[in-house]
Amino acid sequence: MVTTYAITVPDEKKRERFERRRRSKNLRRRAVLPTTMLWVLALLMLFPLAWFLLSSFKPGSELFSYPLSFFPKEWTLGGYEAALERIDFARYFLNTAIVATVSTVLTVFLCATTGYALAKYKNPWLSVLGLFILSMTMLPGEVILNPMFIVIRDLGLYNQLAGVIIPSIVTPTGVFMFRQFFITIPDELMQAARIDGASEYGIFFRIMLPLARPIALTLAIMSFQWRWNDYIFPLIILGNPDQFTLQIALRALVGAENIEWTILLAASVLSMIPLVALYLVFQKYVTSSNINAGLKD
């Protein structure tokens, strides 16, 4: 016993080192398959975008001549110049930015107050409202396209950016994201604040809203993306080219008899720049957000 013990000690050390080396080798080997799978998928997802982006830098002659090459043989900004000349980008950018920004601010604020009330107060009025908002998740706005148009026209909002902004403010996803978050905040926090003499509004604005900052940011980015990329409601509500948003303007290009691909590709790339920039800055609020909390209820 004693001898074996004495012998195994140095052996153990050696084996441990060996084990560790083997384990790291093992780990590397185990990383190969998942990493390959991950990157094959990533490249598959990236390819259409990359092809589209690189094509936008090709001159018109290169776009349609076989054999195609992945990278442009001759880099040019000609498509972009032509697109800027053809389309009144400044105006469309401004219109889209107004719609997306204003509706995002209002969406975040109203979804926060509504979600908070649904989470922290109990009365019949709220129960009914909660059920109504839940029903909105099932029924998309597309099924009320025609009457929606009549309502907006009768309110005098036809052909105005406000007509695009106001109907899109309330989103069930946003309300439930906030509701789910505020449910996790203990009621004791409210009670303590009440004892200290805070009003209901003070509790919300000075305690609860700051706590909900991550949710507010996630919803803000999502809402900004929704409104920036909206198509069907701007299409029916904005009839005047001066009021068009980017998506409607792009649709005019792609719907033409003869599509001018150099202009269309460049214009499409340009239309995405603000969103991509915003996304790269705030991407962790989107990609790591726990969205199922908002949608499950």
Partner 1 sequence: MTATITPDASAPTAGAPGAPSLRRKRAFGRYRMAPFLFTVVTAALFALFFLWPGVLGLSYSLTDFRGWGDANFVGLDNYGKLLGDPDFYSALGRTFVFALFSVPLSYALSLGMAVAINAAHARGKTAARIIFFLPWLVSPIVTGVIWRWMFGESFGFVNFVIAMFGGGRVPWSSNADLSLLVVILASSWAGAAFNMLLFVAALNNVPKSYYEAAELDGANGWQRFRSITLPSIAPTSVLVILLSTLGHMKEFALVQSLNGGGPGTQNRLIVQYIYETGFKQSEIGYASAASMVLLVILMVIAIIQLRISRRSNNSW
**Prior bond of 67 cis (ω within 30°):** yes
186 binds partner 1 per the rule CB under 8 A? no
Q: List Cβ<8 Å contacts ≥24 apart for 85-93.
A: 86/263, 86/267, 87/249, 87/253, 87/263, 87/267, 89/267, 89/270, 91/242, 91/244, 92/244, 92/245, 92/246, 92/249, 93/246, 93/274
Q: What minimum distance in Å lies between the beta carbon of 242 and partner 1? A: 20
Contacts of 219 (CB under 8 A, 6+ apart): 107, 108, 111, 173, 174, 177, 178
271 binds partner 1 per the rule CB under 8 A? yes
30 binds partner 1 per the rule CB under 8 A? yes
Is there a contact between 177 and 291 (Cβ–Cβ < 8 Å)? yes
SS3 annotation, 195-225:
HCCCCHHHHHHHHHHHHCHHHHHHHHHHHHH
18 binds partner 1 per the rule CB under 8 A? no
Which range, of 1-9, 11-19, 73-81, 133-141, touches partner 1 by CB under 8 A? 133-141
147 binds partner 1 per the rule CB under 8 A? yes
Residues between 58 and 77 with contacts to partner 1, criterion CB under 8 A? 63-64, 66-68
101 binds partner 1 per the rule CB under 8 A? no
Residues between 241 and 270 with contacts to partner 1, criterion CB under 8 A? 247, 250-251, 254-255, 261, 264-265, 268
287 binds partner 1 per the rule CB under 8 A? yes
Coil vs helix vs strand at 66:
coil
Q: What minimum distance in Å lies between the beta carbon of 82 and partner 1? A: 16
Residues between 155 and 174 with contacts to partner 1, criterion CB under 8 A? 166-167, 169-170
Q: What minimum distance in Å lies between the beta carbon of 164 and partner 1? A: 12
151 binds partner 1 per the rule CB under 8 A? yes
Interface residue with partner 1, options 80, 92, 116, 244 (CB under 8 A): 116
For partner 1 (CB under 8 A), the number of binding residues is 95
What does the DSSP 8-state code read for residue 68?
A: P
